[in-house]
Amino acid sequence: MTGIHSIISSSAAIVMFLLSQNVTALDFSDLANEGEIKYLKQRPDPGAYRYESRVKITPQSLDSGVVSIATCHHQLDPIRKVVIVFNEERIRKIAVKSLEKMASAEVKDNRVTLTDVERGASICIDLESRALDQLSQNEFKLNAGPLMRRYFDGYLPMSATLRVDWPAHLLMVQKTNPMPQEGVQVLQGNDGVQLELTFAGKMTAQVFLQRP
């Protein structure tokens, strides 16, 4: 039996709940229990669900807190219906940009409803969200998550690419949470930062930024 349900957190990132037929191929050490997170050196189930997001911060974002986000979900499990719910207090606009191997994707208010999702399906959704919090005059925090791939009372491995762009020299990275470690790669320059994550559990990420 397979199933999937997704919701969006306050920071407009995806939470994925999945029941996968590939679980039998995983070791117990690859799974995470409730309240636990494991960062993994490599993906034990390559080809399974992965998430991508690209955030664009503009000079106006520093005043309004509103950023544009392009998200994609790849290698979804089959199910008749999926409802993606965005936090209505932060979300501004939602637009489905592309979809494959599903019958439809309907946007209504702060929800996107997917129907007749086939194995290996994908969908990309663009949105605007007030995901950038101002901590002081020159310090900011960008929120992402929580991200998870749930299996009954535990969590399956997943991978996520979180990319943040801004005009060159507008901002610089103070730190990221999680910090670089096994399963967490952080690449940064004067015009952005990218987190490559491989993990099992419920993961919330923050990027702490400041004006140079």
Domain holding 49: CATH number?
2.60.40
Q: Domain span at residue 151? A: 3-210
What pTM does this model have? 0.84
Q: Which residue stretches of the chain are H helix? A: 61-64
Residue 156 burial (C-beta neighbours within 10 Å; 0-12, 13-18, 19+): buried
Angstrom distance (rounded) from CA 170 to CA 180: 23
Q: Among 60-64, 73-77, 124-128, where is mean pLDDT lowest?
A: 73-77
pLDDT of 75 strictly over 70: yes
Average pLDDT over residues 63-82: 91
**How does 54-87 read in b/e, with b if 16+ C-beta sit within 10 Å?**
bbbbeeebbeebbbbbbbbbbbbbbbeebebbbb
How many Cβ atoms from other residues are within 10 Å of residue 210's Cβ? 14
- Peptide linkage before 178 cis (omega within 30 of 0): yes
Q: Please determine, for residue 9, whether its predicted confidence score (pLDDT) is greater than 60.
A: no
pLDDT at residue 23 in the model: 53
What does the pLDDT look like over 176-209, one tens digit per residue?
Answer: 999 999 999 999 999 999 999 999 998 889 999 9
Domain count, the chain: 1
Which candidate, 55, 80, 52, places its Cα nearest to that of 65? 55
Beta bridge partners, 3, equal: 19
